[in-house]
Amino acid sequence: MARIPEEIIDEVRQSNDVVEVLGQYLSLKKTGSTYKALCPFHQERTPSFVVTPVKQIWHCFGCGKGGNVISFLMEHDKVSFIEALRTLAKRANITLPSSDGYKEGAHDLLYQANEFAAKFFQERLTSGIGTGAREYLKNRGVSDQSIEFFRLGYAPNAWEDLLKEAGKQGLSLPLLKEAGLIVARDEGTGYYDRFRHRIIFPIFSLSGRVIGFGGRSLEQNPQAKYLNSPETPIYHKGRGFYGFCQAKSPVQDAGKAILVEGNFDLIIPYQHGFKHILATSGTALTPDQARLLSRYAKQAVVCYDPDPAGQNATDRAIPLLLEAGIDVKVAVLPPEMDPDLAIRREGEQAFAAIIESAITFIEFKVMRARLMSDLSQVADKSALVNNLLNLLALVSDPVKRRLYIKELAEAAGLDESFILELARKKEGFKPEGNGQDVPQNNKPDWEGEILSILLRRPENISTILPELSVQGLASSRLIGLLKKLGAIYQDTGRLDGAGLIMKFEDREEQSLLSGSLVHKELPDDSLDSADNDTQLLSDYLIKLRKQNLKPRLKDIQQELKLAEKAGDSILVAKLLRQYQELSSGNSGNKTE
């Protein structure tokens, strides 16, 4: 692949602040000189994802992933290096040099195919053939501003309209099929457009790329009223929300989200000022969606349709949200109304009152139980209490849990101490601990400490490396990494933290670097701090030697006993020399 000049890559990276970019994806909380967040790459309750502005890097101490602003986009959006670089260059208004040698990954091509389709559908909506579709949107109360903002479109009532236009643009049939834009014919050969005579709702990634589509049929009696893109390498139905790209900042600012079912249920409230709103877009809420939401909001107001299907969906969503650490409330809509109709018929003030008066999940469960069972019967009330205790077991916050226990006791007409005792006995009830997700390793990481110092004092690598290499004192992983770092320092005269990470393709090496860079704050570059680092290096070498060589000394002692019993004087002498050599290097710290 043709290389983009290093100075341009550095310019793009340096023009995109890691806190600003990652803050578009994560809810970052400032703690001292760093920022913390729940990691987007693994499930956790306690933040272990750290962003360091001074060094422009990030690292998760839970899963070990780390890097700079470019590697974050690559990991999060599953794109190639060049695609991540393009995104950041566009954000910073930097023009990248064009080259036919840049090889694009499969994901990049899928994004391009979807972007082509989105523009195609938008153009068809504004053309003459989109007159009926525009009239439909107008009747549904969708403003021109919303059409543009959400990039709504129209798929014409034709079998190969998109297919032919894509061919003119050089998009291959396999690519269009993989993107879910065309479907193979059942009989014979050839393909046809997946979306026909439908209002099109583009689905976006958090970074604003088109990853899929939803389509609402305009036929009188459609076989399927709503149709979504199939699963593709870049689109997974249960991992995101419709509208999250647009509502991400409002949700984060409010600390809560209104959850609705349909696309119109989101668009109409959004254009009336309810911008912290997300839609599951025809699919039941999933654990992945709940975990995604937990990174941006601490409270969710579930505002699903009041019909049995909507209420059952609410029932299923509650435990998923609680398990993700989200406080759950339920908005009760008037009969036969969804959020879209509630605003258009009753007005935004009435809808605001519905959201404001949302009930707790306990009140919702009691309300449902009264409709579906007889709570005057012991069996029915017992079932309700046990059902709610199972939900309370998912609440990790001890204060919230006690408040919910009090609410449950009042709702059930039982003594609070009795409910508390039941909760404590309930299998799986979470202890009132600190909720730490990252396993604690009490063994000191002297290699990590040494690497941290050498990253800020690279002039010492050449002297420390030979000492670490002898007698297997350090791991081969660290030795190999230091050799590469030493070579880079010899060539450039510096080790730039954020830029350095991109010089290593191995993910394990990137993780080691980001962890060590985040672990240690850069000290004042003075003679005193340099002397202090020199002393720390010496101390850590002694500790590492003692930690790693102690098992070897024990082995030699055992071998000595066997050699002496066997009367092998030559082997005894050899083992004694080895023991003395190791002991002399291991005796530098007598106080431990």
- Per-residue pLDDT of 139-184, as tens digits, reads 999 999 999 999 999 999 999 999 999 999 999 999 999 999 999 9
Element (H, E) at 5: none
Contact by Cβ (8 Å): 58, 497: no
Residue 480: strand, helix, or coil: helix
Residue 251: strand, helix, or coil: helix
Report residues of the chain scoring pLDDT below 50: 1-2, 100-102, 428-441, 522-527, 587-592
Amino acid at 279: A
Tokens 């000595």: give the residue: 560
Q: How far apart are CA 334 and CA 326, in angstroms?
A: 25
Q: Name the packing angle between helices 106-126 and 81-91 (round to 10°).
A: 50
Q: How does DSSP assign 117-133, residue by residue?
A: HHHHHHHHHHSGGGHHH
Residue 200 has phi, psi (to 5 degrees) of -110, 130
Amino acid at 525: D
Q: How far apart are CA 17 and CA 15, in angstroms?
A: 6
Residue 66 has phi, psi (to 5 degrees) of -170, 170
Residue 113: how many CB atoms within 10 A of its CB? 24
By residue count, the chain amounts to: 592
Cβ-Cβ contacts under 8 Å for 546 (sequence gap 6 or more): 586, 589, 592
Give the bridge partners for 52, in sequence order. Answer: 57
Residue 213 has phi, psi (to 5 degrees) of -145, 150
Residue 83: how many CB atoms within 10 A of its CB? 22
Tokens of 530: 């340099």
Tokens 């990652």: give the residue: 22
Ramachandran region, residue 433 (left: φ > 0; alpha: ψ -120 to 50; beta: rest) = beta
Radius of gyration of the chain (CA): 30
**Tell me, what DSSP letter sits at residue 219?**
S
pLDDT of residue 547: 72
Q: What is the pTM of this model?
A: 0.68
pLDDT of residue 434: 41
Element (H, E) at 59: strand 57-60
Residue 350 has phi, psi (to 5 degrees) of -65, -40
Task: Summarize pLDDT for 454-474 with one digit per residue, the tens.
Answer: 887 888 888 888 877 765 677
pLDDT of residue 214: 95
CA angle 35, 37, 39 (to 5 degrees): 130
Helices (H), 235-377: 244-254, 263-271, 287-294, 308-323, 339-341, 348-356, 361-372
Question: How many angstroms separate the most distant Cα atoms in the chain?
Answer: 102
